[in-house]
Amino acid sequence: MRKILLITTGGTIACPDTDENRTPNAFLNSAEKLLEKLENLPENISIESVSPFCRDSTNMSPKEWTELAVLIREQYENYDGFVITHGTDTLGYAAAALSCLVKNSRKPVVLTGSMKPFSEENSDAPDNLRNAIIFAADEKSCGVVVAFDRKIIDGRCAVKTRTDSVCAFESVNEIDFVGGETQFFDRMDERLSVIMLVPGAEPPVIPEDTRAVIVLGFGTGGLPENEKYQKLLDELVGRGVYVIMSTQVLRGGSNLSLYEVGERIINKYPVADAGKMTVEYASMKAMWALAYSDNFDGFKRLFLQ
């Protein structure tokens, strides 16, 4: 018998079937309601449940995802796999965060949700939840993943690319898996800012307590050759803020050494290149690395490992 812990946190899957003003409902968020209409599950699966949250995923944050990681750690030896129902708006960030907090998991941690409420006709919820449970119960499964629209996506690569379709998630920029012992972490430092370059626009003001900044540049990375952006980097580095260069382009990743506008930054400033990390994964990994380092070299090593 394969034992699964179902962790419900709200989201559209737990919303009533209405056309507007949807919000998760505690009654609909219960495992009993989510499982009562689920058919064709293998007989060798035993499911227990816990409901730590019932929220629109817009209101979820690293604080809640850290609590989920602690819950999984506490129950890790009692179950063969874990399924988390979660709203889709921040599900990619949740999967990225848990990929950092439950590292090299030898057991599956599967996040899923739906674009339509469970009670709505032709909802994608039953199919997504069923597939998540089946994957979590497979003895060959491992790691943090997203189960959605009959796909299993590496939690580090899951990105929501549609707001109006049940095929809402895609795998972006596959990352090599390097094995190791399962490790649990229970801290994330949210003092991170993310800025996106816009041609001609003024650079934003970065809060004084910021410890790291992700700069979403153009193409493979780099900054425009003008005084205001050079001044921004001078100010950030001078304040001891860790700078991560990335890209606003969805696929392919950043590569600062490819063009002179990027190579110039590498030669002048201590920066980290996010490479193929999605914005979701880069931001969550930066928060994790901030919590477990006390200087830039240590931060960069953790961020890039």
Same domain, 271 and 288: yes
Cα separation of 223 and 233, whole Å?
10
- What pLDDT shows up at residue 179? 81
d(CA 240, CA 260): 25
* Total domains in the fold of the chain: 2
For residue 298, what are its two tokens?
Answer: 């240590």
Q: Domain end: 146, 164, 184, which one?
A: 184
- The question of whether 12 is a catalytic residue gets the answer yes
Does 201 lie in the same domain as 122?
Answer: no
Q: Based on the number of CB atoms within 10 Å of its own CB, is 30 exposed (0-12), middle (13-18) or buried (19 or more)? A: middle
Q: Measured between alpha carbons, how far is 203 from 266 in angstroms, rounded to an integer?
A: 20
Which of 153, 184, 215 delimits the end of a domain? 184
Query: 220 is in which domain, residue-wise?
Result: 192-304
pTM value is: 0.96
What is the reported pLDDT for 99? 98
Tell me the backbone φ, ψ of residue 251, rounded to 5 degrees. -120, 145
Shared domain check, 146 and 68: yes
Whether 165 and 215 share a structural domain: no
Q: Which residues of the chain are under the pLDDT cut of 50?
A: none
Do 160 and 243 fall within a single domain?
A: no
pLDDT value of residue 261: 87
Q: In terms of domains, do 76 and 199 share one?
A: no
| CATH number of the domain enclosing 205 | 3.40.50.40
Same domain membership, residue 272 and residue 205 = yes
**Residues 271, 221 share a domain:** yes
Whether 162 and 208 share a structural domain: no
Radius of gyration of the chain (CA): 20
User: pLDDT tens across 73-111, in order?
Assistant: 999 999 999 999 999 999 999 999 999 999 999 999 999
Q: Out of 12, 66, 88, 112, pick the active-site residue.
A: 12
Same domain, 174 and 97: yes
Single-letter amino acid, residue 56: D
Contact 156, 176 (CB under 8 A): no
Say yes or no: 255 and 219 in one domain: yes
Last residue of a domain, one of 167, 184, 201: 184
- ∠ CA 45-46-52, rounded to 5°: 125
Instruction: Answer yes or no: do 121 and 235 share one domain.
Output: no
CA 99 to CA 102: how far, in whole Å? Answer: 6
**Structure confidence at residue 185 (pLDDT):** 98
Q: Quick one: pLDDT at residue 65?
A: 98
